Amino acid sequence: MATQVINHLSTLWYTRCPVPTGLGIAIQKGWLKDRFSKQNIEIKSIRESHSKDIRNSHFNHSLENSVRHGGSIPAIWAYASGQKTKVIGLSWADEIQLLLTRYDTGIKTVNDLKGKRFGIPHHQDVIIDFSRAQAIRGLENALKTVDLEVSDLVLVDTLRTDILAAQTQQQLPVQNDASFYGERNPLNASAEIVALLKGEVDAIFLKGAHAAQIAQDFALHTIIDIGSHPDPILRSNNGTPRTLTVDESLLTQYPEQTQTILEAVLEAEQWAHLHASDTQRYLAKECNSIEQWVNIAYGENAHLKLNTNFDEVSIRALQDLSDFLYRWKFIPQRIDVNQWLAAELYQNIIR
């Protein structure tokens, strides 16, 4: 029988979202590069590539020999669309998930949202409109706390016309919510924020450090922070949990190198647990923000929230999120997340 010859892995591609992840810290500290340089393997950033096809892999995970740690919605979409990937870890760092309104709307509670206009992003030029999906998810979860449904509100698509026009007039580079992080919209505003301030909608959803800053900068009223709800399923969204994924061929052909990735992530998280102030600075850089907003968004104990594992709550929440995406037609088919998970490497490391 012929023996399959596997070529040496020459390049590993990586990407992560602008959120707290162990992979982000491992990259910032140079640990991922150090581990692979000893194996004569070059690591390259997907989002810093000059190739659009390569950059798109942040969302569709189409690039072989790549690892991604970040929001689960694009990862679920890619897998449900037929991309062969595997989850080698799940991390859960609770963050603020705010339903916001202006103080002059009279909306104080979730019950007050009935019949009101809720602004949601609408990006027709992106691979997967995860901003739209996470906004509807946050709204739906919040409404469950008072037995309301999304159909009890009026959903209003918010377009980027105003922002694009302003960028053109100021000769600023055009960005969108799905552009690559580190290239944040120069106007620091999304279409739903503009719509809320102009009175075109009554409430919107924002999460993370960006939400904390916007809420204070524009003196917005927080209707609810669903990110602090005691039920983890109601807290589950794009960032809860976050998926650490690799393409299946990387896992099957280069299991030792895939384990090296996971080891670097776990090492970075353990380091974070012991270095609170340093971690806050790293996370602020990851989030394209400052420590003040990171502390508000993720808590002063954010360094302790970096834990990649296969916790049962995370698995259950990931399934619930994927079912939501199928129900709202963001993904083409329902998935069984248990078939997506590859826990063997993690089990080998923690034994």
Residue 274 identity: L
pLDDT at residue 332 in the model: 97
The pLDDT tens digits for 115-127 are: 999 999 998 788 9
Mean pLDDT of 6-31: 93
CA dist 239 → 187, 227, 250, 344 (Å): 24, 10, 24, 23
| Beta-sheet strands, E only, within 102-249 | 117-121, 154-158, 204-207, 221-225, 242-247
| Beta-sheet strands, E only, within the chain | 11-16, 42-45, 66-70, 85-91, 97-101, 117-121, 154-158, 204-207, 221-225, 242-247, 308-309
pLDDT at residue 130 in the model: 95
- Residue pair 73/134 in contact (Cβ under 8 Å)? The answer is yes
The pLDDT tens digits for 252-278 are: 999 999 999 999 999 999 999 999 999
pLDDT at residue 186 in the model: 40
What domains, with CATH codes, occur in the chain? 11-93+239-350 (3.40.190.10), 97-235 (3.40.190.10)
pLDDT at residue 181 in the model: 37
Mean pLDDT of 327-338: 98
Mean pLDDT of 78-84: 98
The pLDDT tens digits for 47-75 are: 999 999 999 999 999 999 999 999 999 99
Residue 177 has pLDDT above 60, yes or no: no
Mean pLDDT of 69-93: 98
Q: What is the residue-averaged pLDDT of the chain?
A: 91
pLDDT at residue 118 in the model: 98
Residue 199 has pLDDT above 60, yes or no: yes
pLDDT at residue 271 in the model: 97
pLDDT at residue 125 in the model: 81
Mean pLDDT of 201-225: 97
Dist CA 295 CA 288 (whole Å): 13
Residue 3 DSSP code: P
pLDDT at residue 7 in the model: 81
Dist CA 242 CA 71 (whole Å): 5
pLDDT at residue 287 in the model: 93
pLDDT at residue 159 in the model: 86
pLDDT at residue 305 in the model: 95
pLDDT at residue 165 in the model: 59
Residue 242 identity: R
Q: How many CB atoms lie within 10 A of CB 66?
A: 23
Mean pLDDT of 155-181: 57
DSSP codes, 42-61: EEEESTT-S-HHHHHHHHH-
The predicted model scores a pTM of 0.91
Q: Can you read off the two tokens belonging to residue 166? A: 């302003």
Mean pLDDT of 20-39: 95
Dist CA 143 CA 146 (whole Å): 6
Residue 176 has pLDDT above 70, yes or no: no
Dist CA 151 CA 144 (whole Å): 12
pLDDT at residue 73 in the model: 98
The pLDDT tens digits for 281-319 are: 999 999 999 999 999 999 999 999 999 999 999 999 999
